[in-house]
Structures are given as C-alpha cells and as structure tokens.
C-alpha cells in the first residue's frame, strides 16, 4: 500500500513509512497515516550521522 505525505505530496510504501521532514511544522501530523504506520512498524530507521570530534 502506498501512503502519501499531504504536505509534500510524496509517496512511500507503508512498510517503509517514515516522515522525511520530522523537524518541520506540519498541520497534517496529528492525522498523518505515515506517522501512524511508522509507530506501528516500530519507529523510523534513521541514519545515524557520525559524531564530530571536538578539538
């Protein structure tokens, strides 16, 4: 099943559902099927960024 981001009109598969803009305001978030599917799938698989070394 394909899900559609209402804000950006982006499509994604339900089993790979993850908000691509989680830090931005979205008026659709409370009724977002992508958010719901991501929680049902155990959360988003975010890529971890390498930590910067502090000198």
Find all residues with CB under 8 Å of 26, minimum gap 6, and list them.
7, 19, 32
Taking only the tens place, the pLDDT of each residue in 9-27 is 999 998 889 999 999 999 9
User: Mapped to the 3 state alphabet, what secondary structure does the chain carry?
Assistant: CEEECCCCCCEEEHHHCCCCCCCCCCCCHHHCHHHHHHHHCCCCCCCCCCCCCCC
- For the chain, domain boundaries: 2-40
Q: How confident is the model at residue 42 (pLDDT cuts 50, 70, 90)?
A: confident
Q: How confident is the model at residue 48 (pLDDT cuts 50, 70, 90)?
A: very low
pTM recorded for the entire structure: 0.70
Rounded mean pLDDT, 17-43: 91
pLDDT of residue 8: 94
């Amino acid at each position: 099943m394909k899900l559609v981001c209402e804000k950006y009109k982006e499509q994604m598969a339900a089993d790979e559902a993850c908000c691509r803009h989680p830090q931005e305001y979205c008026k659709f978030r409370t009724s977002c099927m992508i958010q719901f599917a991501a929680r049902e799938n155990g959360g988003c698989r975010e890529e971890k960024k390498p930590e910067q070394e502090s000198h």
